[in-house]
């Protein structure tokens, strides 16, 4: 009898093929080698079994009704960790082999095959599934101004920072939410090496009724509750940099006051008639198109041109290429240290899933994801099944409610039958019918297949 190395005393195998003869042949051979074998004749039935029974290996045909084996291969690869995948087919083609390997299969076996060829393939797949390759560590030595990035769009950002960091010119940073606009503002300020204040202000997070007092301060008695004179953010930032994030959220009246600061380098504290002089560099940021706001009358055109002296446009993460790998490596190291854990690594498949993702939340979304994975994943490697569902492919398709009852019944019978390894007695007991009735139903299902 052929011997196959197994990672545990009982190895669960799911065999998926619409050919009853092929399923029975594989099932008989594997059960003789002490494998526990489950069978399915459709992709949806296979998915139902996978969701209820932990599998070590899936053996699937490529040509099947409704959905093909490629969809099942991808579904298993992206939703179940450490499950080996062996593809079998009676219609061999280079394209089929390439596609199945590309989406997650470890081996490709052509029908008809001998018992020895089957066991050799099974042995190789189980070995690959239990031994993950170590991913080469990506260094972050090429970070610039404390910002991780080596892509061409980020190199353009670094060049602009280097050119304007020593000037006192107003800078407007644009980019989608989560791209790192405050990091760029800090780089502009701290890269000079001069120890001066850096004051960040989230204009979108402060109600407009309070923003004026927060920015410019107030004198004692200016309003009810003003029991003492208090300096504002502009005074705190005197001699340094004030970072006005989400400046597009400010009201027109506030914009007029900000324009005066930029033009005259002075402002009035609330309740005071004496102007306050200030020497401060203004760096503003926005994730909306200020020019469109100007057209709509929501942003002052004169302030827009005052801010639009130097602009730095931050690219979204989806356009930064290999920076996703650099940032992932950086965040893995960062949170491993913070959580006092061994550093984790992503499998190649998981990294490819990150690269293919659109990242609407940009770097902030990636950082939060890696933080969460570092906390929750117990294995040394993070694989695709560890990622949220939005990163994974699913072969499950809801066929909707517009189906005859007999079709729904047949589908359910085959799911229950497959999950109990074709045991007629167990399946009949669960369905609440006798074995004779079940056999008749199965006969009709196979006849209509």
For the chain, the structural domain boundaries read 6-131, 152-314, 318-391
Q: Which two tokens stand for residue 401?
A: 């409610």
* Residue entry with tokens 């404390």: 146
What pLDDT does 95 receive? 59
Q: Are 383 and 10 a contacting pair, CB within 8 Å?
A: no
User: Does the domain formed by 6-131 have CATH 3.40.190.10?
Assistant: no
User: Does the domain formed by 152-314 have CATH 3.40.50.300?
Assistant: yes
Name the DSSP class of 316: P
Q: Are 46 and 72 a contacting pair, CB within 8 Å?
A: yes
Q: Are 284 and 303 a contacting pair, CB within 8 Å?
A: no
Q: Which two tokens stand for residue 4?
A: 């196959």
User: Does the domain formed by 318-391 have CATH 3.20.20.70?
Assistant: no
Could you check whether 6-131 and 152-314 share the same CATH topology? yes
What pLDDT does 136 receive? 40
> What whole-number distance in Å separates Cα of residue 405 and Cα of residue 69?
27
Phi, psi at 59, each rounded to 5°: -110, 120
Q: CA angle at residue 184 from 183 to 185, to 5 degrees?
A: 90
Q: Which residues does 197 contact at the CB level (< 8 Å), separation at least 6?
A: 236, 237, 238, 239, 240, 241
| Closest-CA residue to 237 (of 257, 254, 217, 218) | 217
Helix axes 348-356, 69-79, angle to 10 degrees: 100
The one-digit pLDDT tens for each residue of the chain (449 residues) are 454 444 445 789 999 988 888 889 999 999 888 898 999 888 888 888 888 888 999 999 887 766 778 888 888 888 888 888 998 877 666 555 566 666 677 887 888 888 888 998 898 888 876 654 333 444 444 467 889 998 899 999 999 999 998 888 999 999 999 999 999 999 999 887 778 999 999 998 898 889 999 999 999 888 888 889 999 999 999 999 999 999 999 999 999 999 999 999 999 999 999 999 999 999 999 999 999 999 999 999 999 999 999 999 999 999 998 899 999 999 999 999 999 888 899 988 888 889 888 899 999 999 999 999 999 998 888 999 999 988 887 665 555 566 688 777 887 887 777 766 678 888 888 888 988 898 888 878 766 65
């Amino acid at each position: 009898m052929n011997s196959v190395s197994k990672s545990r005393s009982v190895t669960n195998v799911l065999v998926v093929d619409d050919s009853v003869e092929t399923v029975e042949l594989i099932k008989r051979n594997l059960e003789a080698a002490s494998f526990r074998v489950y069978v399915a004749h459709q992709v949806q039935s296979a998915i139902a079994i996978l969701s209820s029974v932990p599998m070590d290996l899936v053996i699937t045909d490529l040509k099947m009704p409704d959905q093909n084996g490629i969809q099942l291969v991808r579904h298993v690869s992206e939703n179940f960790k450490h499950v080996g995948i062996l593809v079998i087919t009676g219609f061999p083609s280079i394209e089929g082999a390439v596609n199945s390997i590309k989406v997650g299969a470890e081996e490709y076996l052509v029908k008809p095959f001998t018992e020895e060829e089957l066991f050799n393939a099974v042995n190789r797949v189980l070995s690959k599934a239990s031994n993950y390759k170590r991913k080469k560590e990506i260094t972050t030595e090429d970070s610039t101004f404390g910002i991780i990035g080596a892509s061409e769009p980020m190199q353009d950002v670094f060049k602009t920072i280097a050119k304007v960091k020593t000037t006192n010119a107003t800078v407007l940073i644009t980019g989608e939410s989560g791209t790192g606009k405050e990091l760029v503002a800090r780089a502009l300020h701290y890269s000079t090496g001069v120890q001066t204040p850096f004051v960040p202000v989230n204009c979108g997070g402060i109600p407009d009724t309070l923003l004026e007092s927060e920015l410019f301060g107030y004198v004692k008695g200016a309003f009810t509750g003003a029991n003492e004179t208090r300096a504002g953010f502009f005074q705190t930032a005197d001699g340094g940099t004030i970072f006005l994030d989400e400046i597009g959220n400010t009201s027109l009246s506030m914009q007029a006051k900000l324009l005066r600061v930029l033009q005259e380098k002075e402002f009035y504290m609330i309740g005071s008639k004496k102007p306050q002089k200030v020497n401060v560099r203004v760096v503003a940021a926005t994730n909306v198109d200020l020019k469109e706001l100007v057209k709509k009358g929501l942003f002052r055109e004169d302030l827009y041109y005052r801010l639009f002296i130097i602009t730095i446009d931050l690219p979204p993460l989806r356009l930064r290429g290999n920076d996703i790998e650099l940032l992932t490596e950086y965040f893995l190291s960062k949170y491993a240290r913070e959580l006092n854990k061994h550093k984790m690594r992503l499998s190649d498949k998981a990294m490819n899933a990150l690269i293919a993702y659109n990242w609407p939340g940009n770097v902030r979304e990636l950082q939060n994801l890696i933080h969460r994975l570092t906390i929750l994943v117990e294995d040394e490697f993070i694989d695709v099944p560890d990622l949220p569902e939005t990163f994974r492919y699913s072969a499950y398709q809801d066929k909707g409610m517009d189906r005859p009852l007999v079709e729904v019944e047949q589908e359910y019978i085959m799911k229950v039958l497959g999950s109990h390894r074709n045991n007629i007695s167990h399946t009949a007991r669960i369905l609440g019918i006798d074995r004779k009735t079940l056999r008749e139903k199965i006969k009709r299902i196979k006849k209509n297949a």
